[in-house]
């Protein structure tokens, strides 16, 4: 991998392209009425995935970029769970029939902050409102520091089959600097509990670019994590945006790695995971060769949504909870971000949609190109344009940002086939951005490209 390119492109702030257009372009022009109409228009036989956002934690991790708040009283969490159940019933009633569900993902915050009985009730509500297929993937994000044996049992009885554990770093110096002290032994104990309960799909989240982090500490974290043999790793670069996330001001910017150091850390982690037999998938995921995600990558059926890379082939994602985002064939919707406003909407019998985006034909074309670039490090531009009934020449003329990328050897255009160079794959977001008609480089709303 080329450090000269990391220096040239690494400071640019770009979307992670978990959607296109990205969330900053959502507008209040798409509200509850539009969402209700879109739900009612879902074709017969549609299937869906469900995302449930639980925006509570026991303490704030200073690196966090999620919508979450610190709670000490369990009553707030119980009230929120009841609101989620009401919203699920509202959406199902608006659809007008019990549609199939193939994937369920609990994100946070800390979803397992709920009482075990409350979690089980929420799963039962979803199974009542939707036809959750027997083989559905049900995934939960977990903070290993707070998970209890009772919650593991509730997850088992509710059909959970995948758990995503926040690890970030096992370096105690780094942990103290980000206010997340989590021992290796805690993490190992949780992995053991999950596997004993038959929850065998285990993901680890790692982060590079954290304060005081070095290549050596990154590699030590990987070495320890590998002894627990997770199926998948997600490896993210820390996005330092204290103007938007005020708690990040607790992190001393003077001890953050610079762009080249971040690049070295990312490369070291990737090389170590590949040497251990994991397949690198797209920008930031790694999986065992026999894992469903690695198979989808090999077969070019990998997709990308708000949870990152996914094997989910559905075109309908229903989001529940404060700030949750949904995706339908017509466009995107996002719920009220503030928990109080979200709860008031649901209590009034209204869908909690606060804003969204209605897709145009050009958006769908560009979204298809960007997704293939993000998932495959390349795209057959003529084939994609033909499927959308669009001229290839016009698309290439609009992608002026491609020119320097081609000149610098980041990407090649061989006839109609676009391909990111092997040593430049860490810049795949820069390549995808060349096809982003909405991108405004003057607005620093995103994380650094490297």
Domain residue ranges in the chain? 1-21+360-450, 22-320
Q: What is the pLDDT of residue 266?
A: 94
Q: What is the pLDDT of residue 283?
A: 87
Burial class (CB in 10 A: 0-12, 13-18, 19+), 390: middle
Backbone angles phi, psi at 286, to 5 degrees: -140, 140
CATH number of 1-21+360-450: 1.10.10.920
Asked if residue 195 lies in contact with residue 210, where contact means CB atoms within 8 angstroms, the answer is: no
Asked if residue 322 lies in contact with residue 55, where contact means CB atoms within 8 angstroms, the answer is: yes
For 119-133, the pLDDT digits (tens) are: 999 999 999 999 999
**How many Cα neighbours within 13 Å face the side chain of 79?**
12
Burial class (CB in 10 A: 0-12, 13-18, 19+), 131: middle
Q: Which residues does residue 304 pair with via DSSP β-bridges, in sequence order?
A: 309
Given a cut of 70, the residues of the chain with pLDDT beneath it are: 1-3, 10-11, 441-450
Asked if residue 51 lies in contact with residue 84, where contact means CB atoms within 8 angstroms, the answer is: no
Asked if residue 139 lies in contact with residue 182, where contact means CB atoms within 8 angstroms, the answer is: no
Helices within 315-440 (DSSP H only) = 339-347, 361-376, 381-387, 392-398, 402-407, 428-433
Task: Tell me the C-alpha distance between 390 and 267, whole Å.
Answer: 38
Count of residues in the chain: 450
Name the CATH superfamily for 22-320: tm_1862 like domain (3.80.30.20)
3-class state of residue 442 by DSSP = coil
For 328-346, the pLDDT digits (tens) are: 999 999 999 999 999 999 9
The mean pLDDT value of the chain amounts to: 94
Q: What is the pLDDT of residue 323?
A: 96
């Amino acid at each position: 991998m080329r450090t000269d390119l990391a220096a040239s492109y690494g400071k640019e702030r770009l979307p992670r392209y978990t959607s296109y257009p990205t969330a900053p372009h959502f507008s209040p022009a798409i509200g509850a009425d539009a969402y209700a109409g879109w739900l009612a228009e879902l074709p017969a036989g549609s299937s869906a995935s469900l995302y449930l956002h639980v925006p509570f934690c026991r303490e704030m991790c200073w690196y966090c970029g999620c919508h979450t708040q610190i709670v000490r009283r369990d009553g707030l969490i119980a009230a929120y769970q009841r609101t989620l159940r009401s919203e699920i019933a509202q959406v199902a009633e608006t659809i007008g029939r019990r549609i199939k569900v193939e994937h369920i993902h609990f994100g946070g915050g800390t979803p397992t902050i709920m009482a075990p009985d409350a979690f089980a009730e929420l799963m039962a509500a979803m199974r009542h409102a939707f036809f959750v297929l027997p083989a559905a993937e049900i995934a939960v994000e977990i903070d290993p520091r707070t998970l209890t044996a009772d919650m593991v049992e509730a997850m088992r009885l509710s059909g959970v089959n995948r758990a995503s554990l926040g690890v970030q770093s096992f370096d105690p110096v780094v942990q103290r600097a980000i206010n997340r002290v989590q021992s290796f032994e805690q993490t190992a104990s949780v992995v053991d509990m999950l596997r004993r309960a038959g929850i065998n799909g285990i993901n680890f989240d790692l982060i590079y670019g954290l304060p005081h982090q070095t290549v050596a500490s990154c590699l030590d974290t990987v070495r320890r994590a590998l002894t627990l043999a997770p199926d998948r790793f997600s490896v993210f670069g820390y996005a330092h945006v204290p103007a938007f996330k005020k708690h990040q001001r607790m992190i001393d910017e003077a001890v953050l790695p610079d762009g080249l150091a971040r690049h070295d850390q990312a490369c070291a982690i990737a090389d170590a995971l590949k040497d251990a037999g994991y397949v690198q998938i797209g920008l930031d995921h790694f999986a065992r060769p026999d894992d469903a995600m690695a198979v989808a990558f090999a077969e070019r059926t990998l997709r990308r949504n708000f949870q990152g890379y996914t094997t989910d082939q559905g075109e309908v994602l229903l989001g529940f909870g404060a700030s949750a985002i949904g995706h339908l064939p017509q466009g995107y919707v996002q719920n009220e971000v503030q928990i109080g406003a979200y709860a008031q909407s649901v209590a009034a019998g209204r869908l909690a949609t606060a804003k969204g985006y209605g897709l145009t034909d050009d958006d769908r074309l560009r979204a298809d190109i960007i997704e293939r670039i993000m998932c495959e490090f390349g795209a057959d531009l003529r084939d994609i344009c033909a499927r959308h009934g669009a001229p290839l020449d016009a698309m290439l003329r609009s992608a002026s940002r491609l020119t320097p990328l081609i000149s610098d050897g980041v990407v090649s255009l061989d006839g109609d086939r676009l391909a990111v160079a092997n040593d430049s794959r860490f810049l795949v977001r820069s390549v995808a951005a060349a096809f982003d008609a909405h991108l405004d480089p003057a607005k620093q709303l995103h994380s650094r490209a490297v």
